[in-house]
Amino acid sequence: MLEGKKILIGISGSIAAYKIISLVRLLVKQGVEVKVIMTSAAKDFVSPLVLSTLSKNEVLADIFAENTWANHVQLGRWADVMLIAPLSCNTLAKMANGHCDNLLLSVYLSATCPVIVAPAMDEDMWHHPSTHRNLELLKKDGVMIIQPGHGELASGLFGDGRMEEPENIITYLSNYFNKNKGRLAGKKVLVTAGPTHEAIDPVRFIGNHSSGKMGIALAKECRDRGAEVVLVLGPVALPAEYAGITVIKVTSSDEMYNACHDHFKKVDIALMAAAVADYKPEVVSEQKIKKAGDATPELKLVKTKDILKSLGAIKNDRQVLLGFALETNNERANALEKLNKKNADFIVLNSLNDGATFGSDVNKITIFTRSGAEIQFDSKSKTEVASDIVNTILDHTKTLSI
């Protein structure tokens, strides 16, 4: 069931680290490619030599070791999933707060793959309010948590906080891959994300503040549910490589339009999350425009092509088309107008009055469907919002029902 998967295991300092020996052995036996990274505290509990022998890969622990600095970015992109087990109280707190003082944490912070953690700690630590706060933060960041069980603890006491057994961790991983696979397996999804830049001259452009986070979260969500994903990504500061996603980097609205039309006929679902510029300069100056005396230059703008509308005009009955509407006033009316004018099946409304801000990690949305439903959601992380959007599409689309 897990054959061919790539799993990156991060071990932090807990007595439960000894269980990872049998976890690695069982995973490798199932045909999983395993790589292991450890904190230095973890090395006190389990030998890197044993783990590298079993995983058939070098075990990495030192952030400053030769070749390791490049690896910390590569590893989170290589893996289908990163599993941090055991997750100690200390590593949990650091992850929740974005600390980056060892290799495991820097891999976690740069990981573009889904992350699962299996906490292990004594009962009192497990029930401490700060542990719960930190776990909530991790959940908001989209991290999945394998709840620890009840049993004998390192302290000799019986209680909660015992890391799940390797066999059960494997069942969790199998369920994770299967559950997600089921929902969008065999489907092709096109996603746009980020802004577009419309050149004025070789050094200037018209752009906007879109960070690309919402579209990237959607692309990852669809990938995690088994879809084949093409992400057409405008110029963003975020990484442009995501494991299991085909990324097409574009700059202008014309390039985004062409990339979307190259792929649209082949896809089942198109999610247009990009903030495409509405206007571009009529003429792009080949040379840098110089200041000319006291005269104020005038820039003549022309409309860009409306990508969503153009896809709405050619979509067939089996294709699902979703657009966004970022509004500051008359939100509902404007969102419904976009739904109709662009022939979309769904419009996701973001209102700047609801606290939506560019670059934020959270979003509050309302989804309008062609069938007339209007579904409001609370403010959530963009990972959770992406999941809500995909669930809504699945719930309201007969052709995608499984």
Kindly list the residues in this chain that would bind ligand CTP in the complex (CB under 6 A): 192, 253, 272, 274, 276, 278, 304, 306-308, 323-326, 338
Query: Is 175 part of the annotated catalytic residue set?
Result: no
User: Which of 260, 270, 265, 11 has its CA nearest to residue 117?
Assistant: 11
Phi-psi group of 122: left, alpha or beta (phi > 0 → left; psi -120 to 50 → alpha; rest → beta): beta
- CA separation for the pair 115, 37 (Å, rounded): 14
Tally of CA atoms within 13 A in the half-sphere of 188 that contains its CB? 11
- Exposed e or buried b per residue across 277-315, where buried means at least 16 C-beta atoms within 10 angstroms of its C-beta: beebbeeebeeeeeeeeeeeeeeeeeebebbbeebbeeb
CB of 263 to ligand CTP, least distance (A): 14
CB of 199 to ligand CTP, least distance (A): 16
DSSP letter for 13, please: S
Helices (H), strands (E): how many in the chain? 13, 21
- The answer to whether 399 touches 352, Cβ cutoff 8 Å, is no
CB of 311 to ligand CTP, least distance (A): 8
Angle, in degrees to the nearest 10, between helices 89-97 and 129-140: 50
Considering the candidates 71, 102, 180, 208, report the single residue annotated as catalytic. Answer: 208
Nearer to ligand CTP, 240 or 326 (CB): 326
- CA separation for the pair 118, 176 (Å, rounded): 14
CB of 192 to ligand CTP, least distance (A): 6
Nearer to ligand CTP, 126 or 264 (CB): 264
Note the Cα 400 to chain centre separation in Å.
22
- CA separation for the pair 318, 320 (Å, rounded): 7
- CA separation for the pair 242, 246 (Å, rounded): 8
CB of 237 to ligand CTP, least distance (A): 19
Nearer to ligand CTP, 12 or 192 (CB): 192
Residues 6+ apart with CB under 8 A from 193: 210, 212, 214, 215, 216, 218, 219, 231, 232, 233, 234, 236, 273, 274
CB of 213 to ligand CTP, least distance (A): 14
Which active-site residues does the annotation give?
208
